[in-house]
């Protein structure tokens, strides 16, 4: 290890220690607060936490402790840094998943893994593997794709199969451990940030199976906002930005619906122009709004033809968490879509590689790969001239496309509710947060999907009623669902001289710490969790 690497680690550690000392000092008022008698138990699932999320969950826990919750934090193993984040609010009980596994449990899990793989022969069979209510197969496949950074699992590939075997055993071990933990802790409420990937996915499902009230919190598409979602077995496949049926009816019948429609259109324009869209992922940094003529010239499009854009997904990220799909994975969908596009030269086709490839590769510490382009080139070789790419690191701002393209294609991406706001039809290849709301084209079979794409140029723009529904849904999910931060402030991509320890951080003033329960964000969270006591507008959407 060279000197510069050692020095960087030392600088990072010093910076983190200073930050934790400041955090400890700011939260001193919380350590002096005497909570109500402990009548309930809150289990915080911090299995995949970093210091920023641990700080946020410490603040959520602090306001719930005042309402009579005993705090238990679940970690995979002892983590002094994360534990200090939580202990800044006072006494906390920590339990470690590894302490609930013995050699016999591990041996049994390994045996079960071999037994299941002995009868599972393909992707679909593993995907459908459900053990005691836990979606084991989905969790195993999601983690394996993410680890390998590939779009599909090849069951004839020894490396892929060995990873599946390892991850299946691990998933079963986690399920064994969490059954013991829930039996001992008996939580009334479980709090999650990450609820999909192993080990959080197994714990999430186990809590729901056991009838535990489950809350997920996460960052909103809006700058300086958070989103909360309450889950049960019936809605566990729903995206956290989904809207309830009651909320949807509220939007459709609201006497200010026209104003909502106008606001979402202004909102979309402002956020794409101001680089504020999913700002923590920096999706629009360096992107420019371009004219149709410029894009046609740059990409070599035929300006006399209609244009369809295939909005690719990250092939290995969060693949199976929300809804159902026509195709087994995003890679299969992408390749089948390109195959159909090759056969339809009546229109321009653009394959838009997801810009989050850049951010995800940086977060994973991996080289930036455009896996979609590589997979398409391997499958088809030289593409015909009516198919073009917009790469992940292109300088073309997505908003540039909204003014001139005619069709969009996705499985369940956010673009599926943005384009219809502009009257642009979107063909989906799976269900998601906006399915069934009357503004997307939702084929129910692969054959139907193919027929639509082969005749896509015949599809008319959306009508006024469809546009209205799209705009109201987008307003509800992208604006109303976001709860503005007040006491709790996330800082993304902080610029700390020399240090790389804090890609994300949480800031809180000492004054806010004195009165957390009356803050606009944590006070609202506390009331909603404990009483369902939100005003009418928020109650319908959270």
Final residue belonging to a domain, choices 133, 153, 173:
173
Q: Give the residue among 418, 518, 437 at the shortest CA–CA distance from 251.
A: 437
| Residue 460 pLDDT greater than 80, yes or no | yes
Query: Do 251 and 134 fall into the same domain?
Result: no
- Per-residue confidence (pLDDT) for residue 536, from 0 to 100: 43
CA gap 198, 142 in Å, rounded = 8
Percent of the chain at pLDDT exceeding 70: 90
Query: Quick check: is 288 in a domain?
Result: yes
Helix %, strand %, coil % for the chain, to 5?
A: 50, 15, 40
- Count CB neighbours of 63 within 10 A: 25
Query: Do 251 and 166 fall into the same domain?
Result: no
Quickly state the pLDDT bin for 474 (edges 50, 70, 90).
very high
CA gap 301, 295 in Å, rounded = 8
Query: Do 257 and 154 fall into the same domain?
Result: no
Query: Do 277 and 369 fall into the same domain?
Result: yes
Non-local CB neighbours of 518 within 8 Å, separated by 6+ positions: none
Query: Quick check: is 458 in a domain?
Result: yes
B/e letters for 428-452, b = 16+ CB within 10 Å, e = fewer, are bbbbbbbeebebbbbbeeeeebbeb
| Residue 36 pLDDT greater than 70, yes or no | no
- Count CB neighbours of 262 within 10 A: 13
Query: Do 349 and 469 fall into the same domain?
Result: yes
- Per-residue confidence (pLDDT) for residue 204, from 0 to 100: 97
* Distances from the Cα of 513 to the Cα of 28, 218, 219, angstroms: 8, 21, 21
Strands 225-231 and 213-219: antiparallel
Give residue-wise pLDDT tens across range 354-404.
Answer: 887 665 556 556 566 688 999 999 999 999 999 999 998 888 999 999 999
Give residue-wise pLDDT tens across range 407-421.
Answer: 999 999 999 999 999
Cross-strand bridge partners of residue 69: 40
In the block, which residue shows the tokens 């001139």? Answer: 404
| 276 or 423: which leads in pLDDT | 423
Q: Can you give the residue range of the structural domain that contains 134?
A: 105-173
Do 73 and 62 touch, CB atoms closer than 8 A? no
Give residue-wise pLDDT tens across range 278-297.
Answer: 544 455 566 788 999 999 99
In the block, which residue shows the tokens 């983190």? Answer: 16
Final residue belonging to a domain, choices 173, 197, 213:
173
The DSSP string of 148-197 is HT-SS--TT-HHHHHHHHHHHHHHHHHHHHHHHHHHHH--SEEEES--SS
Quickly state the pLDDT bin for 467 (edges 50, 70, 90).
very high
- Per-residue confidence (pLDDT) for residue 476, from 0 to 100: 93
- Per-residue confidence (pLDDT) for residue 358, from 0 to 100: 66
Query: Quick check: is 377 in a domain?
Result: yes
Do 519 and 486 touch, CB atoms closer than 8 A? yes
| 357 or 467: which leads in pLDDT | 467
Give residue-wise pLDDT tens across range 84-143.
Answer: 999 999 989 999 999 999 999 999 999 999 999 999 988 889 999 999 999 999 999 999
Number of domains within the chain: 2
Query: Do 148 and 288 fall into the same domain?
Result: no
Backbone angles phi, psi at 352, to 5 degrees: -95, 110
Query: Quick check: is 408 in a domain?
Result: yes
Give the CATH number for residue 270. Answer: 3.40.50.2000
Query: Do 162 and 263 fall into the same domain?
Result: no
Query: Do 307 and 406 fall into the same domain?
Result: yes
Query: Quick check: is 93 in a domain?
Result: no
Average pLDDT for 197-205: 95
Query: Quick check: is 36 in a domain?
Result: no
Average pLDDT for 312-340: 90
Query: Quick check: is 77 in a domain?
Result: no
| Residue 542 pLDDT greater than 60, yes or no | no
Query: Quick check: is 100 in a domain?
Result: no
Final residue belonging to a domain, choices 480, 495, 525:
480
* Distances from the Cα of 357 to the Cα of 129, 281, 363, 394, 494, angstroms: 29, 10, 10, 11, 20
Do 353 and 370 touch, CB atoms closer than 8 A? yes
Query: Do 158 and 269 fall into the same domain?
Result: no
Quickly state the pLDDT bin for 427 (edges 50, 70, 90).
very high
In the block, which residue shows the tokens 């609930």? Answer: 100
Average pLDDT for 324-347: 96
Average pLDDT for 490-498: 66
Query: Do 150 and 271 fall into the same domain?
Result: no
Half-sphere exposure of 6 (CA within 13 A, CB side): 3
Cross-strand bridge partners of residue 311: 352
Backbone angles phi, psi at 381, to 5 degrees: 70, -140
CA gap 190, 74 in Å, rounded = 10
Query: Do 158 and 300 fall into the same domain?
Result: no
3-state secondary structure of 216: strand
The DSSP string of 223-241 is TTEEEEEEE-GGGTTS-TT
Query: Do 333 and 459 fall into the same domain?
Result: yes
Strands 426-428 and 483-484: unpaired
């Amino acid at each position: 290890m060279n000197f510069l690497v050692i020095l960087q680690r030392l600088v990072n550690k010093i910076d983190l220690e200073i930050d934790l000392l400041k955090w400890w000092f700011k939260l001193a008022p919380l350590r002096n607060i005497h909570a109500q008698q402990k009548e309930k138990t809150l289990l915080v699932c911090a299995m995949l936490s970093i210091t920023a999320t641990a700080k946020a969950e410490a603040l959520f826990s602090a306001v719930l402790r005042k309402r009579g919750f005993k705090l238990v934090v679940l970690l995979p193993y002892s983590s002094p840094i994360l534990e200090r984040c939580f202990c800044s609010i006072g006494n906390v009980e920590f339990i470690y998943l590894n302490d609930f596994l013995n050699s016999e449990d591990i041996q049994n899990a390994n045996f079960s893994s071999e037994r299941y793989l002995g009868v599972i022969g393909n992707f679909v069979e593993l995907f459908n593997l459900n053990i005691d209510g836990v979606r084991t197969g989905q969790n195993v496949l999601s983690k394996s794709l993410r680890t390998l950074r590939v779009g599909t699992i090849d069951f004839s590939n020894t490396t892929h199969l060995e990873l599946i075997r390892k991850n299946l055993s691990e998933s079963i071990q986690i399920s064994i451990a969490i059954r013991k933990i829930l039996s001992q802790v008996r939580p009334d409420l479980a709090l999650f940030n990450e609820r999909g990937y192993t080990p959080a996915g197994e714990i999430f499902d186990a809590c729901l199976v056991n009838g535990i009230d489950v809350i997920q919190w996460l960052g909103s598409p809006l700058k300086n906002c958070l989103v909360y979602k309450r889950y049960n077995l019936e809605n566990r496949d729903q995206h956290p930005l989904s809207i309830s049926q009651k909320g949807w009816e509220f939007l459709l019948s609201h006497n200010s619906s026209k104003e909502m429609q106008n606001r979402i259109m202004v909102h979309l324009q402002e956020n794409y122009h101001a680089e504020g869209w999913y700002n923590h992922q920096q999706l629009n940094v360096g992107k420019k709004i371009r004219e149709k003529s410029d894009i046609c010239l740059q990409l070599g499009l035929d300006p006399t033809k209609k244009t369809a854009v295939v909005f690719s997904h990250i092939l290995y990220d969060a693949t199976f968490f929300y809804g159902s799909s026509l195709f087994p994975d995003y890679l299969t969908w992408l390749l089948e879509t390109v195959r159909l596009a090759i056969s339809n030269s009546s229109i321009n086709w653009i394959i838009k590689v997801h810009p989050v490839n850049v951010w995800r590769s940086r977060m994973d510490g991996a080289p930036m790969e455009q896996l979609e382009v590589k997979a398409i080139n391997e499958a088809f070789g030289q593409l015909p001239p009516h198919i073009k790419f917009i790469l992940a690191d292109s300088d073309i701002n997505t908003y540039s496309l909204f003014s001139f393209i005619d069709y969009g294609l996705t499985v369940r991406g956010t673009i599926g509710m943005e384009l219809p706001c502009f009257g642009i039809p979107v063909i989906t290849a799976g269900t998601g947060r906006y399915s069934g709301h009357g503004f997307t084209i939702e084929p129910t079979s692969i054959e139907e999907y193919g027929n639509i794409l082969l005749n896509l140029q015949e599809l008319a723009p959306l009508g006024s009623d469809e546009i209205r529904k799209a705009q109201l849904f987008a307003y509800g999910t992208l604006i109303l669902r976001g709860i503005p931060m007040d006491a709790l402030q996330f800082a993304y991509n902080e610029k700390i001289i020399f240090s790389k320890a804090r890609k994300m951080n949480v800031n809180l003033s000492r004054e806010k710490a004195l009165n957390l329960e009356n803050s606009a964000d944590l006070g609202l969270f506390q009331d909603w969790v404990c009483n369902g006591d939100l005003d009418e507008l928020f109650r319908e959407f959270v």
